[in-house]
Amino acid sequence: MENRKTLAEREIDVTKLQEMETAELVEFAAAKDRKVKETAVELDILKAELQRRAENELEERNIKFTEFFGEVNSYVNVSCAQKLEILNMPMVRKLLGEALLRDKVTEKPAEVKYDVEKKFRQALIAVVTGDYDNEFTVEQVIDGAGWRMDTRQRSLILKKLKGEYAKDIAMLRNTLGNPVLEADEELYYIYKIKNWELVRAFFPTEGFGEAAAELKKYVTVDETPRIELKYSREAVDDGIKGDTGAD
């Protein structure tokens, strides 16, 4: 019988599995399981280094999302994971009103936690982090970006922008026919402008600055860079194809 290291590297031929002795099959499975676990540890080490670089990149450029590219159709989406925590619900109710919170926030008494509706959660996070912009419009950002676009493309871009980096950068590259377009700063501004639209939907603009400052005393947001590793199905090594991966 082959040793475990050799078994771990051997490709699985489904058509021959039924011919294998049970003991050999068990060893084959054990070898593959050990390889998966060892590879998982190595992957964690690589991802930790990518995480460190992601933190530096976002901090140095003062943005919330970007991409790292590999050499052969692999890339990492870098974004900022945000965790909202309500510290003092009675004071938040007093500030925002019972009617609004009744519709947007569900209390979980056993856990003493609150399940916040998605768009309202995004608005709250924007207020607490200051990630909103009411000085510029999406049109101004697009027109000042320097992208080569005709009237039709401009109209399509304005219609499809969502303020979500991964979707927006893919849409821009497809619409403008530029697969390597860089637009991190522009999309961050658009993200903040879209956030302001959400904020206006939930909060009165009169006296907003004072209300926002008060709200920050009772609601916190923890931000942690998040990486998502993705790769294509195209051959990357000796003609062997890999599955699309994401984490």
Q: Is residue 162 part of a domain?
A: yes
Q: In this structure, are 125 and 164 located in the same domain?
A: yes
pLDDT at 246: 41
Classify residue 199: in a domain, yes or no: yes
Residues 87 and 157 in one domain: yes
**pLDDT for position 238:** 41
| Residue-by-residue pLDDT tens, the chain, 247 positions | 567 778 888 888 888 888 888 988 888 888 889 999 999 999 999 999 999 999 999 999 999 999 999 887 888 999 999 999 999 999 999 999 999 998 899 988 767 688 899 999 999 999 999 999 999 999 999 999 999 999 999 999 999 999 999 999 999 999 999 999 999 999 999 999 999 999 999 998 888 999 999 999 999 999 998 988 887 655 344 433 333 344 4
Q: How many domains does the chain have?
A: 2
In a domain, 217, yes or no: yes
Same domain (yes/no): 108, 16: no
Do 157 and 172 contact (CB within 8 A), yes or no?
Answer: yes
d(CA 206, CA 7): 69
Measured CA to CA, the distance from residue 84 to residue 225 in angstroms comes to 15
Distance between CA 166 and CA 152 in Å, rounded?
22
In a domain, 32, yes or no: yes
Identify whether 122 is part of a domain: yes
Residues 107, 55: one domain? no
Mean of pLDDT over the chain: 88
pTM of the predicted structure, to 2 decimals: 0.74
Please check whether residues 40 and 161 belong to one and the same domain. no
**Structural domain boundaries enclosing 129:** 77-230
Residues 166 and 103 grouped into a single domain: yes
Give yes or no for a contact between 224 and 84, defined as CB atoms under 8 angstroms apart. Answer: no
Residues 176 and 226 reside in one and the same domain: yes
Kindly state whether residue 238 falls inside one of the protein's structural domains: no
pLDDT computed for residue 233 by the predictor: 52
Q: Edge-to-edge, what's the strand order for the sheet holding 66-69?
A: 66-69, 74-86, 219-231
Residue 68 lies in a domain: no
pLDDT at 174: 96
111 plus 223 within the same structural domain: yes
**Residue 235: inside a domain, yes or no?**
no
Q: Say if residue 97 is in the same domain as residue 176.
A: yes
Whether 35 and 87 map to the same domain: the answer is no
Q: What are 117's two structure tokens?
A: 């509706």
Give yes or no: residues 194 and 222 share one domain. yes
Do 56 and 81 lie in one domain? The reply is no
